[in-house]
Structure 1
Amino acid sequence: MNICGIVTEYNPLHLGHAYQIEAAKARTQAQGVVLIMSGNFVQRGEPAIINKYARTQAALHTGVDLVLELPTYFATSSAEYFSHMAIRLLNATGITTHLNFGSESGSIDDLVHIADILHNEPIGFRFLLNEYLSTGDTFPKAREKALYKYVHNHHLMSEDTAKAIKTPNNILGIEYIKALRRQKSNIIPTTVKRIGSAYHDDNSRTTIPSATAIRKFLQEHDNHAPLSEKLPLYSYNTLENAIHCGEGPIFYDMIFPFLKYKILASTPEVLGTYQDVNEGLEYKIIEAALHAYDYDSLVNKILSKRYTRTKIARALLHIYLGHEQKTFELLNSEMKPYLKVLGFNSTGQKMLKAIKKHDEDLPIIVNIRQGCKQLDDIQLLSYQADLNSTLHYNHLIHFYYNTKMNNEYETPIIRLP
């Protein structure tokens, strides 16, 4: 039986996502789809627009059968670590036969070729990478330049193909393939060419706008009716219901007052203990926070050739959530996988039984209180961070909308027929 894995955020779930689910099932001849989804905070370094259970409902009504949460420490990390943990979870299920992801390229062969160069790091490529890093380029920019030069020098592929490393979905796809290689996984990677607007395109008037454009529209308009034609029906209804109930939307800049307080109440030594706060970034963050009047001004005062906006956003989010670098390194090197279930339908329930049959020792958490009893000390560090992130998220909802949300212990997972 073929089971297709998809890794996503669905922030929110739009028509392009619905197309990918349908195309992935057809391409892999899958009898089931397992989703690895970020929780209440996402890889861009910001809160999700609506909570993870609402997004789980939208996913289950759009063709997914089982939704598992990507641990928060990794859901908010760079593409490499985000992908690494997602693939570990899919491997741990023991039933996932295929991985599908959307890409700007649409060619799995091109992306595999690039991933193999980046994974194997031949001597010529490593030399070029170090050369560009020594000039002060950020790692992503240095890697991009080194790949172009290496490909050109060795006539391995067209430079247009090599440019695939520049676009967001291709970057993630390449990291998925690298993770499959590192973990010696038997899961077969496949891709669907992304349709609709580009990842960063913020124009909501297009037929299939990006998630970025949808979030921008929500932030700028009170009347959301135009989005009814831009989102799958259930995704739109879920979004509107969350808003109607005072449970969102939550935007990236809403963390600013709490973040600024935490920064200014900390010393550089304390800030330097948080994930991704390194290379002296803590001093720039404190200096910027002294004069920042909102989130964007805070980030803009830190921006430089050395620090990209996304890196800064992730570092700030880790400060806000209290993610320590030493904990992240411990989890990344030593944590055994655990599966935290967000929702499932009848097919997903059968998949869970098959997963349990494959590995009886794998913790599968469907009840929060019982979940604590299944985990070892290292897993508990990650699990507690997941629960803590929900407390932070619910606090934002309460502060901005005066809505009291149930905590994780009071929130049942989503079960559909």
Structure 2
Amino acid sequence: MNILSLIVEYNPLHNGHVYHIKKSKEVTKANYVIAIMSGNFVQRGIPSIIDKWSRTKMAILSGIDLVIELPVIYAVSTAEKFAYGAIKLLDSLNIVDYVSFGSENGSIEDLYNIAKFLVEEPEQYKLFLKEQLRLGITFAKAREIALNRFLGPKISKIIKDPNNILGVEYLKSLIRLKSNIKPITIKRYGPGYNSTETVNSFASANYLRKNIINKSFSVLNNFMPKYSTDILEYCISNGFGPVTLDNFSSIIIYLLRNNYNLNSVFDITEGLQNRIYMASRNCGNISELIKNIKSKRYTESRIRRILLHVLLGINSKLYTSYDGPNYIRVLGFNKKGLELMKMIKAKSTLPLITKVSNYKKILNDSLMFERDLFATDIYSLSFKKSSNAGLDFTREIIMLK
């Protein structure tokens, strides 16, 4: 028996995701598939285009047996913390054999060698990296230059691509945890991560989101399964999407103008808080705000994540208080997923949450989980018809045969 795991966002689920699921199952000869999925906010520093329950349904219809939510504090963090939170959660299940991720490179050996080097982190490398950071460039660029020097010119091309970067972070986490989960990578097919081009029936999630926001729905049928477009169209026609960062512009700017304690926010470095405060006083929407904060050192994705931390009240203490998720929150499952849940109950030391109303009885420490609840309450403010709070308590787990 082989149990495969994937770490996903499905924002939205498209043909490339279906290809990854099918190819991963084929390579691993998996009998069961678990997905760790971001909830209503994702790692790019944006809200998901539609809610987590709708995306869970897409996932199960695509061949996933069990969908587990990645806590929001990891879902909206840096690639390193996102990967660690997801891998630690998978490792804590104590039943997973494989984790599969997509990459532009397609070679697990290349990515593993980089990950191993970064975990060992030789002293000379650390000193050179600090020298590069003093030049005022981003951490990603400084690391690319440093790795190029110590591991050779081939590394530059690998470490530039976003899925390769995330893959390296997954591997670093597996090494640090001394996990028995075996990693595999499936070479990404079709257009790049941020590409606005299409290849046959494949398009990037970024391209699809732009078409959804522009109401070019007819385009989607070429690149998404019909059940995926049906779910998406249902959400939009009923006022539950598309959700974008623009929906939260006024709240974020209000919080910043009201002297939000930016020093308590993770990934804020010296000088950045003043830049954000000043921009908030001179900007009227989120796009303008990000444009005014962005610089050679501060990337747009980093700024978006910081703004989400402000919106969701996530402070840096939450990251130092926990060594990974302390619960397993189920979003949906099928018949085989029910079998997986029984295995997890028998093998895992973490509590399994299937009924949210019981969380205070189940969890000794509920601070991380309550951030998830709060994130959903904030997310629902974007809905056009009904923006009631407490959806985590009222929405049922997705159960499909």
TM-score by length of 1: 0.93
Corresponding residue of 1:110: 110
Question: Is 1:68 matched up with 2:68?
Answer: yes
Corresponding residue of 1:390: 376
Provide closer, same or farther for how the CA distance between residues 266 and 206 of structure 1 changes in structure 2, counting only shifts above 3 A: farther
**Which structure 2 segments of 5+ residues have no match?**
none
Report the Cα offset of residue 289 of structure 1.
1.1
1:132-180 per-position Cα deviation (integer Å, ceiling 9, x unaligned): 123222221111100001123xxxxxx2344211111001100000000
Equivalent AA in structure 2 for residue 287 of structure 1: M
Provide closer, same or farther for how the CA distance between residues 336 and 60 of structure 1 changes in structure 2, counting only shifts above 3 A: closer
Structure 1: 4+ residue segments shifted above 4 A: none
Equivalent AA in structure 2 for residue 281 of structure 1: L
Corresponding residue of 1:354: 343
Question: Is 1:410 matched up with 2:394?
Answer: yes
Is the contact made by 1:202 and 1:210 (CA closer than 8 Å) also made in structure 2?
yes
Provide the C-alpha distance between the structure 2 equivalents of 1:241 and 1:285, rounded to a whole number of angstroms: 37
Is the contact made by 2:89 and 2:325 (CA closer than 8 Å) also made in structure 1?
no
Is the contact made by 2:38 and 2:70 (CA closer than 8 Å) also made in structure 1?
yes
Question: Is 1:200 matched up with 2:191?
Answer: no
Provide closer, same or farther for how the CA distance between residues 202 and 336 of structure 1 changes in structure 2, counting only shifts above 3 A: closer
Q: Number of residue pairs matched? A: 400
Aligned ranges 1:256-335 → 2 under 5 Å: 256-266=249-259, 270-331=261-322, 333=323
Q: Secondary structure of 2:202's match?
A: coil
Corresponding residue of 2:329: 340
Equivalent AA in structure 1 for residue 167 of structure 2: G
Q: Secondary structure of 2:126's match?
A: helix
Report the Cα offset of residue 188 of structure 1.
0.4
Question: Is 1:240 matched up with 2:240?
Answer: no
Query: Which of residues 351, 354, 376 is equivalent to 1:366?
Result: 354
Provide the C-alpha distance between the structure 2 equivalents of 1:396 and 1:262, rounded to a whole number of angstroms: 17
1:55-79 per-position Cα deviation (integer Å, ceiling 9, x unaligned): 0000000010000000000100000
Provide the C-alpha distance between the structure 1 equivalents of 2:205 and 2:243, rounded to a whole number of angstroms: 14
Q: Secondary structure of 2:192's match?
A: coil
Equivalent AA in structure 2 for residue 321 of structure 1: L
Q: Secondary structure of 1:229's match?
A: coil
Provide the C-alpha distance between the structure 2 equivalents of 1:43 and 1:393, rounded to a whole number of angstroms: 15
Is the contact made by 1:343 and 1:415 (CA closer than 8 Å) also made in structure 2?
yes
Is the contact made by 1:62 and 1:234 (CA closer than 8 Å) also made in structure 2?
no
Is the contact made by 1:39 and 1:52 (CA closer than 8 Å) also made in structure 2?
yes
**Which structure 1 segments of 5+ residues have no match?**
153-158
1:325-380 per-position Cα deviation (integer Å, ceiling 9, x unaligned): 1222212x4x6631000000010110110111113x42000000112211122xx1
Q: Secondary structure of 2:221's match?
A: helix
TM-score by length of 2: 0.96
1:210-269 per-position Cα deviation (integer Å, ceiling 9, x unaligned): 000001111123x412211210121111111111111111012221111111111125xx
Percentage identity across aligned positions? 41
Report the Cα offset of residue 205 of structure 1.
8.0
